[in-house]
């Protein structure tokens, strides 16, 4: 091959190589530009380019016991609207009272109603042409029979001129008939007539409830229907937090305490266990604000069922009574009165009642009924209240330490204590009088003058007036109040301050102290003097 031909071939190869290189660079630059542009575009369109998008799964049922209970039981929970007309004098000018005026003027207003059946501002009071006012209260209830029978609280329908019921997913309001009520347990039974069977809740056994069990409440708090809340059983056997100083109010109430959220409007709704059974009827809360603070009370289902059965049978609840007043006393009281194995100390005997006619006296200690031991007040009430009216029972008692037997005829409690059960007046304490003799009990006492007796309407002979109770003293610990009248100490009559001085000298620290005092308490719409026994063990001197 000639040298010139060789050079020509070499030049062709260089040109080809250069072209390939240039082509490769061009393709690379083009691809890089495209990739860079795509990346920049992606970066500009996503706030978090490294995040993985969430994918919503296909709908699938989730196992949830509470949801199942809500679905099954909520149709049995109803909203109750009660309406009443508060009459005003014809001369009154129609006006809408303020919230504070309503609470002061309406005598039906009590702790239960304030907590559970609020009168919704702006809609609760409608003035009539001549000054009358229509008041609406809201509450809850639970259907317990497919025929339309509903359990609720008495205070939800109390004094109502009209009661209407709203069912779940139903815009209608159905007029309800009041079958009967029981003020002492705050329960009522109402009925609505609907042509179809209604979903009803099953009653559970409240005796099986244990502290720590799940608790579920359904109702209409603040008018929000079908509200479901859950918590636990906080305690059992709680006494009513709203017992009057008369000592005999609501003694048939022993509550289940729960922290399931219940508020105004939950009244009468069910408290359920984890099986969806009714174990209580939500009745009250303790609250400083008027709303949920974690302390709610439900009347146990066993009590509610018993009351319900009596009402649907007879239209009312009849309980037996022998006409005495008592409290479960301090152990020191029973020791001083000679009862070593428990008993019930009679603090008052209703004049003309069965006990009075049979000869039972104040300071007797009842130890047995028909030979069955009575250890405390619950034993006595459980026996007497369920004994048919007209039954004669044998009462075993101690009087001044000596046993005796008396026969008493059981009567209707509602008749014996008609005035006490008709309503309470507000407690009005007299102003204590200054200048009196101090005692080792942490109280000051003075002799009762004729002016004192007239001012206090106190007619019994003897006694000394408590004029002051020191804070954190023994007297305060056992429950003494200013204007109590002490009539005996450790079964020894007190006629004046000199008796108090003598008796207190004989009581050493660690000794039993039992005071019998008279206290002015509500009795229907009036106030009367009633006996109380206050006791304790005297602490060491400070």
User: For residues 522 and 423, what is the distance between their CA atoms, to the nearest angstrom?
Assistant: 9
Return the closest-CA partner of residue 83 out of 191, 139, 160, 181. Answer: 160
Question: What's the CA angle centered on 264, arms 259 and 268, to 5 degrees?
Answer: 80
Measured from the Cβ of residue 381, the count of other Cβ atoms closer than 10 Å reads: 19
- Residue 287 burial (CB < 10 Å; 0-12/13-18/19+)? middle
DSSP assignment of 258-297, as one string? Answer: E-S---TT-TT-EEE-TTS-EEEEEEEE--SSSS--S-EE
Element (H, E) at 465: strand 464-469
Q: Where are the alpha helices (DSSP H) in 87-140?
A: 99-105, 111-116
Reduced to 3 states (helix: H, G, I; strand: E, B; else coil), residue 307 is helix
Q: Who contacts 63 (Cβ-Cβ below 8 Å, separation ≥6)?
A: none
| Length of the chain (residues) | 542
Backbone phi and psi for residue 102, each to the nearest 5 degrees, phi listed first? -60, -45
Taking Cα atoms as reference points, which of 228, 270, 236 lies closest to residue 253?
Answer: 236
- Among 84, 117, 182, 186, the active-site one is 186
395 three-state secondary structure:
strand
- At residue 45, the 3 state secondary structure works out as helix
Half-sphere exposure of 440 (CA within 13 A, CB side): 18
Active site residue 347: no
Residue tagged 């495209």 (tokens): 34
C-alpha 101/C-alpha 461 separation (Å) is 43
CA–CA gap between residue 473 and residue 479 (Å, rounded): 10
Token pair in block for residue 48: 């978090």
Annotated catalytic residue within 267, 446, 473, 488: 267
- Residue that the structure tokens 């922290």 belong to: 259
Residue 436: HSE in the Cβ half-sphere, 13 Å Cα cutoff: 26
Q: Helix, strand, coil % (nearest 5) of the chain? A: 25, 30, 40
Q: How far apart are CA 434 and CA 517, in angstroms?
A: 20
Torsion sign across C-alpha atoms 315, 319, 324, 326:
negative
In contact, 157 and 187? CB cutoff 8 Å: no
Task: Determine which helix (DSSP H) or strand (DSSP E) holds 176, and give its type and residue range.
Answer: strand 174-182
> What residues are annotated to the active site?
155, 186, 267
């Amino acid at each position: 091959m000639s040298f010139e031909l060789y050079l020509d071939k070499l030049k062709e190869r260089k040109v080809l190589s250069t072209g390939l290189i240039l082509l490769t660079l061009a393709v690379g630059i083009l691809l890089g530009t495209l990739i860079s542009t795509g990346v920049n575009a992606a970066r500009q369109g996503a706030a978090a380019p490294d995040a993985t998008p969430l994918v919503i799964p296909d709908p699938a049922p989730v196992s949830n016991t509470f949801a199942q209970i809500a679905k099954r039981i909520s149709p049995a929970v109803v909203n109750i609207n009660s309406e009443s007309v508060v009459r005003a004098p014809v001369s009154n000018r129609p006006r809408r009272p303020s919230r504070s005026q309503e609470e002061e003027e309406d005598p039906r207003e009590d702790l239960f109603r304030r907590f559970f059946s609020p009168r919704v501002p702006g809609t609760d009071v409608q003035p009539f042409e001549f000054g009358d006012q229509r008041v609406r209260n809201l509450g809850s209830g639970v259907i317990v029979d497919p025929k339309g029978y509903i359990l609720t609280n008495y205070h939800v329908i109390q004094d109502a001129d009209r009661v209407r019921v709203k069912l779940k997913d139903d815009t209608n309001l159905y007029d309800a008939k009041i079958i009967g009520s029981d003020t002492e347990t705050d329960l009522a039974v109402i009925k609505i007539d609907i042509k179809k069977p209604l979903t009803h809740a099953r009653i559970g056994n409240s005796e099986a409830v244990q502290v720590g069990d799940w608790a579920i409440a359904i109702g209409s708090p603040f008018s929000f229907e079908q509200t479901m809340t859950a918590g636990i059983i906080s305690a059992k056997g709680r006494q009513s937090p709203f017992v009057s100083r008369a000592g005999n109010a609501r003694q048939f109430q022993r509550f289940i305490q729960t922290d399931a959220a219940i508020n105004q409007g939950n009244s009468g709704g069910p408290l359920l266990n984890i099986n969806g059974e009714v174990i209580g009827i939500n009745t009250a809360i303790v609250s400083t604000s008027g709303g949920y603070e974690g302390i709610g009370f439900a009347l146990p289902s066993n009590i509610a069922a018993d009351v319900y059965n009596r009402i649907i049978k007879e239209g009312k609840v009849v309980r037996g009574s022998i006409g005495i007043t008592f409290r479960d006393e301090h152990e020191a009281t029973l020791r001083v009165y000679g009862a070593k194995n428990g008993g019930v100390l009679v603090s008052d005997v209703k004049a003309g009642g069965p006990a009075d006619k049979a000869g039972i006296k104040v300071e007797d200690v009842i130890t047995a009924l028909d030979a069955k031991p009575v250890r405390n007040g619950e034993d006595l009430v459980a026996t007497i209240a369920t004994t048919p009216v007209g039954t004669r029972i044998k009462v075993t008692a101690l009087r001044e330490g000596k046993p005796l037997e008396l026969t008493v005829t059981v009567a209707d409690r509602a008749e014996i204590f008609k005035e006490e059960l008709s309503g309470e007046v507000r407690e009005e304490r007299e102003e204590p009088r200054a200048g009196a003799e101090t005692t080792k009990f942490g109280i000051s006492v003075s002799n009762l003058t004729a002016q004192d007796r007239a001012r206090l309407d106190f007619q019994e002979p003897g006694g000394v007036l408590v004029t002051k109770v020191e804070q954190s003293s023994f007297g305060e610990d056992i429950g003494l109040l200013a204007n109590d009248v002490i009539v005996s100490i450790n079964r020894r009559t007190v006629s004046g301050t000199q008796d108090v001085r003598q008796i207190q000298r004989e009581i050493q620290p660690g000794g039993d102290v039992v005071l019998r005092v008279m206290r002015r308490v509500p009795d229907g719409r009036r106030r009367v003097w009633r006996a109380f026994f206050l006791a304790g063990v005297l602490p060491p001197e400070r």
